[in-house]
Structure 1
Amino acid sequence: MPENTEYKRLWWHSRRGMLELDVLLVPFVEEVYRDLPADDQARYEKLLSCEDTDMFEWFMQRSRPEDPDLQRIVDMIINRVQPD
């Protein structure tokens, strides 16, 4: 039960109110998050604490996070929708 509660919390936090972020984060949390290793799950949770404007810039590839952990999870999300 606590795992389900935590997942629901993450799902709600993935809804940002900015369509460009919602279409990336909600499917990611629904389809990928549960299968991630614990380190990457922690990175995703860290990402959710960031400002929407920063995330928007990162996902639009206008800038990059300085934190390598954040860059890793941003790259994972981008690569999911834009595979090489």
Structure 2
Amino acid sequence: NIRDWQVCAVVTDCDADGNATLSLRNKFAAGDEIELVGPDSRPFTMTAPVMHDLEGFELYEPRTPQTVFKMKLPRYVPPMSFVRHAVSLSAKD
């Protein structure tokens, strides 16, 4: 089984408590296992929490590219960090 990575979102802002603003690239959902990768920071894995739109409404699966949304991270990550998840590239026989 070959695994590859798909970028889901890019962090545009994040405070010291991990309250991040992101811009969506590819859909993902609350409960998905995701990895955060960023400049000058070690990658880490987490389970995607319920997200929120800019009005504060809950988002379980942001779908529209370029959607700006909020997500709580376990710690600060620098802007231009990205959220990615593994996708399977193996052909279905």
TM-score, with structure 2 as normaliser: 0.25
Structure whose alpha-carbon radius of gyration is higher: 2
Between Structure 1 and Structure 2, which shows a larger proportion of strand residues? Answer: 2
| Higher relative contact order (Cα pairs below 8 Å, separated by 6+ residues) | 2
